[in-house]
Structure 1
Amino acid sequence: MNDMHAEHASTSRKETGTRKKKSNAAFLVFIGIWILLIGGGLLGAKLYTDKMQRDMTADIQRQTSAQIADMQKAYDGRLAAMESTYAGEITLLKEKIDALNELLTFTKDNADTKTDNSNKLYTQLNEVKKQLNELKKSLDVLK
């Protein structure tokens, strides 16, 4: 009986040893699977955030480009309106200058004692020329 009891004890020790080895191996497999799951989750989160960042950057870039284009159109429109306004004013001033030149020429031809009038006209002509030059400068600055 002792022999049987000794065999049973040694068999039981072998089973316990293999159980421990099996449970250690199962535990290591379990930990390995969890590490793979956590790593896969982290990798997936990283890829998703990178994709979202690229999408948001592209969207912001599109919006910015559209706003810049709108602002450029508005600026060009205002600049064209100002140029046409200044061109009209310059044309009117040129007509006034031509009329004053004709009047000045006429007064010079008839200048016996009327030199005061021609001086006034000449002064007015110079003032109009100064205004014309200022308008041209303003137009150049706008361009």
Structure 2
Amino acid sequence: MSDLILEQRAASQTDKKTRRKKGNRSLLLFFCIWLIIICSGLYGAKWYTDRIQLTIAESLEQQTAGQIAAMQQTYEARMLELETNYTNDLAELKAKVDALNELLTFTKDNADSKTDNSNKLYTQLNEVKKQLNELQKSLEVLK
């Protein structure tokens, strides 16, 4: 009987060892599977955020390009309008200067030495020339 008891004890000890090994293996397998799931989740989240970031960057680039094009068109239109206005103003001033020159020569021919009309016309002519020069300078600055 003692042999039978010893055999039972030895068998129960080997069963415990195999159970522990199986328990350790299943626990290790469980942790490995969870580690794989967590790593794949992290990789998927990174891939998704990169994709979203790329999509947003492309969208912003398109919006910015559109806004820049619109601003450039409005800028060019304003510059063209200002240029035409300045050329019109310069033409008007030139016409006024020519008219004043004609008036000045007419009055100079008809006036005697005692009249002061020619001095007044010269001062007006100088003022108009100053304005013409200022407009030309501002036109050059705009170009």
Verify same fold: TM over 0.5.
yes
Is residue 42 of structure 1 aligned with residue 52 of structure 2? no
Question: Matches of 2:140 and 2:76 in 1, distance apart?
Answer: 15
- The alignment partner of 2:121 has SS state of helix
Contact 1:97 1:129 survives alignment (8 Å): yes
Size of the aligned set, in residue pairs, is 143
Question: Matches of 1:115 and 1:130 in 2, distance apart?
Answer: 25
Shift of 1:112: 2.3
Q: Deviations over 1:46-90 (max 9, x none)?
A: 121122112212211221221121111111111111111111111
Question: Matches of 2:41 and 2:30 in 1, distance apart?
Answer: 16
RMSD: 1.5
The equivalent of 1:64 in structure 2 is 64
- The alignment partner of 2:50 has SS state of helix
The equivalent of 1:2 in structure 2 is 2
Task: State the 4+ residue runs in structure 1 displaced beyond 4 angstroms.
Answer: none
TM-score, normalised to structure 2's length?
0.91
- The alignment partner of 1:133 has SS state of helix
TM-score, normalised to structure 1's length?
0.91
Letter in structure 1 aligned against 2:4: M
Give the share of equivalent positions with the same residue, in percent. Answer: 56
The equivalent of 1:81 in structure 2 is 81
Q: Deviations over 1:5-63 (max 9, x none)?
A: 22122112111101110110111011011111101111111121122112212211221
- The alignment partner of 2:84 has SS state of helix
- The alignment partner of 2:136 has SS state of helix
Deviates more, 1:110-119 or 1:79-88: 110-119
